[in-house]
Amino acid sequence: MSIIGLLNNSLSLFTFVRDRIRLTYCGVYLIVICSGNIILMLFIILNIPALLNYDNMLYKNFHCHVQFYICLSLNYIFIWGSVAIVVEKLLIECFNYDVYEPSIRPIITSIIIIIFVSISNIPEKFCRGFVNSPNKHQVCSYYSHSNTIWYRMHIASSYVHVVLPCLVHIISTICILTTIAQRKVFISINRYPQQYIYRVWFRQLYLHRDFLIPPIFIIICILPHIIVHYILITKCLDFSNIILIRLHIVLVLFLNIPQMLTFLIYVYPNEIYFKEFMQTPIYRIICFSSYKRQIENERRARASSIASSHAMINDDV
């Protein structure tokens, strides 16, 4: 999965660094989150030798404290970066902000997100340690009873980084769709006076699916984690409960799916982004044969059109 994520984010980064996207507000955030996701995938790949040498104390400490802190921070940076993107879209659609207006706001916002996430995740380094599992192996886990201050700070931080972004995504998506629907109703009120806004709302949801797929997909991936860990099961999981442990692993993997599929949720559904991707050298390398056939077909089409125009001229003469 990490290889898939590395490929997805690399292709996305090749697309987002192009001028037409890079100069927009969202382009800056997309470059930041793709860069962070590439680092995250590399850390996940580097975890393989750590697992193979897990009896080594150096690897165990690195995995438990350093790597987990970095990976968790990069996960939260992606989540908050996606929040920044949907908020920028909210400003553009609801408050008529210019997409290409020169500003350093996205750069400053990205720096603030990185600093905020890095500082707020410091408790992760102090509330984790090695505990004995039922099979007498030492595993890295949270101290739920000792270091209560750090553990409570960890719980509060997880609420802030998971629940709050999900709420922002939901509210922003609803506001964007409602604004677009109201605008469409107002424009076409003379032609269609009996329009219902909820029908227009769902129609705009379909028409702007490229615009709304990322936040909706992220919400779908985050919500199960929130429901299970913040509503149904609020206590620390017991090692003896295998079902809950496996459910926790599945939900964590589900939570990380958006980071692995940035190309599929940001580039592929968006016609503008995908056209920019088609202009990249990597696209020509990957799709060289099809690209060559496309050029040949275009050349033949131009030649046939020129020949037909010459034939029409000769007929007129």
- Per-residue pLDDT band for 71 (boundaries 50, 70, 90) equals confident
Average pLDDT over residues 154-162: 84
User: What does the H/E/C string look like for 216-284?
Assistant: HHHHHHHHHHHHHHHHHCCCCCCCCCHHHHHHHHHHHHHHCHHHHCHHHHHHCCCHHHHHHHHCCHHHH
Residues 6+ apart with CB under 8 A from 279: 18
Residue 171 DSSP symbol: H
Q: Provide the pLDDT for residue 158.
A: 83
Is residue 291 situated within a structural domain?
no
Pair 143, 128: CB distance under 8 Å: yes
Does pLDDT of 100 surpass 80?
A: no
Pair 197, 182: CB distance under 8 Å: yes
Provide the residue range defining the domain that includes 254.
Answer: 2-269
Q: Provide the pLDDT for residue 266.
A: 92
Q: Provide the pLDDT for residue 111.
A: 93
Pair 273, 263: CB distance under 8 Å: no
Cα-based angle 296, 267, 249 (whole degrees, multiple of 5): 130
Does pLDDT of 272 surpass 80?
A: yes
Better pLDDT: 204 or 69: 69
Average pLDDT over residues 256-268: 90
Is residue 280 situated within a structural domain?
no
Pair 5, 75: CB distance under 8 Å: no
Better pLDDT: 263 or 155: 263
Instruction: Please name the helix (run of DSSP H) or strand (run of DSSP E) that holds residue 116, with its range, or none.
Output: helix 105-120
Is residue 236 situated within a structural domain?
yes
| The total number of structural domains that make up the chain | 1
Highest mean pLDDT among 105-109, 181-185, 191-195: 105-109
Q: Provide the pLDDT for residue 106.
A: 87
Q: Provide the pLDDT for residue 32.
A: 93
- Per-residue pLDDT band for 34 (boundaries 50, 70, 90) equals very high
Q: 131 - beta bridge partners?
A: 139
Q: Distance between CA 262 and CA 6 in Å, rounded?
A: 10
Is residue 290 situated within a structural domain?
no
Is residue 48 situated within a structural domain?
yes
Better pLDDT: 78 or 227: 78
Read off the amino acid at residue 21.
Answer: I
Mean per-residue pLDDT over the chain, rounded = 78
- Per-residue pLDDT band for 192 (boundaries 50, 70, 90) equals low
Average pLDDT over residues 255-265: 89
Does pLDDT of 41 surpass 80?
A: yes
Better pLDDT: 132 or 169: 169
- CATH number, domain containing residue 139: 1.20.1070.10
Q: Distance between CA 302 and CA 152 in Å, rounded?
A: 69
Q: Comparing C-alpha atoms, which of 125, 132, 101, 82 is closest to residue 25?
A: 101
Is residue 287 situated within a structural domain?
no
Is residue 277 situated within a structural domain?
no
Is residue 279 situated within a structural domain?
no
Token representation of residue 14: 């090749």
Residues 6+ apart with CB under 8 A from 271: 210
Q: Comparing C-alpha atoms, which of 226, 207, 276 is closest to residue 26?
A: 276
Cα torsion 234, 240, 243, 247 to 10°: value is 50
Among 3-17, 197-211, 258-272, the range scoring the smallest mean pLDDT is: 197-211
